[in-house]
Chain A
């Protein structure tokens, strides 16, 4: 990027600076640490200069926003056109309560919904299942049938909001419910906008809400890709997620590498199922974590865009530019929040918010200060949303595109993170792909090693955590935490019993029977799941039919 002669000049002036200024300074005042590193163990130099990015080619490696390789952003105007979607992940208790919270968030200026489901829903059990005891309505809203889904979106016009649903193993069932609610509101599927997470590979790696074995899960996923490309064209059919990989303890470059490796596996599966890459790839979306190391995070987001664009173009021969654009949602890092002095978490979230914005995210969830203690209260959620709004409307960081582009440090970090991710992807390819690398525990082990190393550094106080291992104060027990009413579970079970008594059970049985029959063929299952949903078959009933045909995943326990 620079003139050769100028670079030579910089080389000698840099050496001079080191000799004349730095060495003297260090001899009088040693630096704080012998070695400075990022979370990905990239050594951070004292100073970055043009020499660190001398090999870069502006047009090839950075280019322009909205142009390949999209390092600087996926849209030509970015936040000058429109700010990112402010999308707070929420849901608890029953559909009525969650519906009230969504309406509150929309009134507060939130621009998209993000639905949190409880664990039974995420794993395809009804609220009256023995395995659901104690879990109903806890980490999200309990949805047993289309009836609950109708209540959840009551009074919320689906053509006006985009809705993200954190649902994976039973994603096709919840998507079918959303389509059915839309129909009841008089909105056709081609008007619906939103995202389902639908990323089963990271469930096996890090998040744990799997149901079926990998092959059958991949079939359900490619069924959704195919169905939506025809019927629900604006729907993002998957959100390939690094978030949970990072929460499980990975480094930034591992997060990027394992996420893109999962992405490669989905593209391969869809191509193998007979789809054309440019038919589904434009609807793939990603979901990343935003951590405390501001510059490393910005570098990660930039590297993600560039690397994915190159993978799609070179490895998969995509032709449509949209297939090469990595669009992503971001959530601030729950695992960085401390139970101690929880108001400090507001500052952590603010740093992570800035990283996501400087990294060019398309949508953002900001965590609430009290999440290391319990579900967030309404006040805490409002502060979290206001954090985004203050950056968006007051800070000025949105006025130009990719403001850190060209920073010697950030560009150098972007290159290094990309290199690390490429090496990991090569290793995974050599192991035979992601499924193999999960089966033999390679990916889980890499993440666990990083998590353990971090914990040991915290305990040795090499990694400072304010309020936890430094600047500790005596604190009183926290009051005013949000609690889910234990009655929710009982009420949910009663609702389900009533539904089962009142619905047309002959219709339910025949739709389930048909689904079961089709599950052992290679037909696309989406239309049959939709029929079952509309007959008010419950989520558990539908998933149990599929369990019978597909079997269940057995986790390999890696320690």
Chain B
């Protein structure tokens, strides 16, 4: 690869818990990736627009409010609609185990729950890029 991996770290919805998103953003940056952080309260449309404009390889979203089943799949669908299905989409936050299979079926390729080491996220991204 001749350019660093570009990652959009995003906070969809109204949730204000961004400790995790910011820690992950910084860890990815320390691992040599280029990281853009959206800030809070992004609609799926805003996230997809930013992902395309910034030409990212990965969209990494975080939700702790329980709105993941609604918002994560919406982002994937909008990306597909834009023909950007070669962007790797991952998610994290307080997400019950029961919800994970459904989210994976919807196209979120990995879900990282509390206690995950940032090194695991870095490893996953490095090994699952789609382009």
Give chain A's interface residues, CB within 8 Å of chain B: 119-120, 122-123, 125, 131-135, 138-139, 203, 206-209, 247-249, 335, 338-340, 372-375, 448, 451-452, 455, 458-459, 465, 468, 477-479, 481, 483-484, 555, 557, 559
Contact = CB atoms under 8 A, between A and B. Distances in A.
Interface string B19-43: 1001101110100000101111101
A557 B41 CA distance: 12
A179 to B, nearest CB: 26
Contacts of B16: 203, 206-209
A465 B114 CA distance: 12
Contacts of B71: 134
Contacts of A372: 94, 114-115
A248 B18 CA distance: 8
B13 A135 contact: yes
A559 B23 CA distance: 9
A451 B23 contact: yes
B66 A138 contact: yes
A455 B67 contact: no
Nearest to B66: A138
Interface of B: 13-19, 22-23, 25-27, 29, 35, 37-41, 43, 65-67, 69-71, 94, 96-98, 113-115, 117-119
Nearest to B100: A477
Contacts of A203: 16
B98 A477 contact: yes
Main secondary structure of the interface of A (DSSP, over half): loop
Contacts of A138: 65-67
29 contacts: A119-B15, A119-B65, A120-B14, A122-B14, A131-B14, A131-B43, A134-B13, A134-B69, A135-B13, A135-B14, A203-B16, A208-B17, A208-B40, A247-B19, A248-B18, A335-B19, A340-B115, A372-B94, A372-B115, A452-B23, A458-B117, A459-B117, A459-B118, A478-B97, A483-B96, A484-B66, A555-B39, A555-B40, A559-B26
Contacts of B15: 119, 135, 139, 208
Given A134-B13, A477-B98, A559 B118 contact: no
Contact of A135 (B18, B29, B65): B65
Instruction: Give 4 nearest A-B pairs by CB, closest first.
Output: A208-B16, A134-B70, A477-B97, A134-B67
B131 to A, nearest CB: 25
Nearest to B35: A559
Nearest to A559: B37
Contacts of B13: 119, 134-135
B19 A468 contact: no
B37 to A, nearest CB: 5
B22 A478 contact: no
A536 to B, nearest CB: 24
B26 A452 contact: yes
B23 to A, nearest CB: 5
Given A133-B70, A559-B25, 8 more contacts: A139-B66, A372-B115, A374-B94, A451-B23, A452-B26, A455-B23, A459-B119, A478-B96
Contacts of B35: 559
Output the residue of A138, A372, A479 with the most chain B CB within 10 A: A138
A451 to B, nearest CB: 5
Nearest to B9: A559
Contacts of A559: 22, 25-26, 29, 35, 37
Nearest to B117: A459
Contacts of B27: 452, 455
Nearest to B71: A134
Contacts of B18: 208, 248
Contacts of B67: 133-135, 138
Given A120-B14, A138-B67, A339 B37 contact: no
A207 B40 CA distance: 10
B69 A338 contact: no
B96 A451 contact: no
B26 A139 contact: no
B34 to A, nearest CB: 12
A287 B119 CA distance: 34
Nearest to B38: A557
A468 B66 CA distance: 23
B55 to A, nearest CB: 19
Given A248-B19, A339-B115, A123 B14 contact: yes
A507 to B, nearest CB: 30
B113 A339 contact: yes
Nearest to A454: B23
Contact of B39 (A448, A465, A483, A557): A557
Nearest to A371: B94
A76 B35 CA distance: 54
B28 to A, nearest CB: 11
Contacts of B22: 448, 451-452, 559
Contacts of B39: 555, 557
A219 B14 CA distance: 24
A374 B95 CA distance: 7
Nearest to A486: B69
A173 to B, nearest CB: 17
A120 B65 CA distance: 11
A125 B14 CA distance: 10
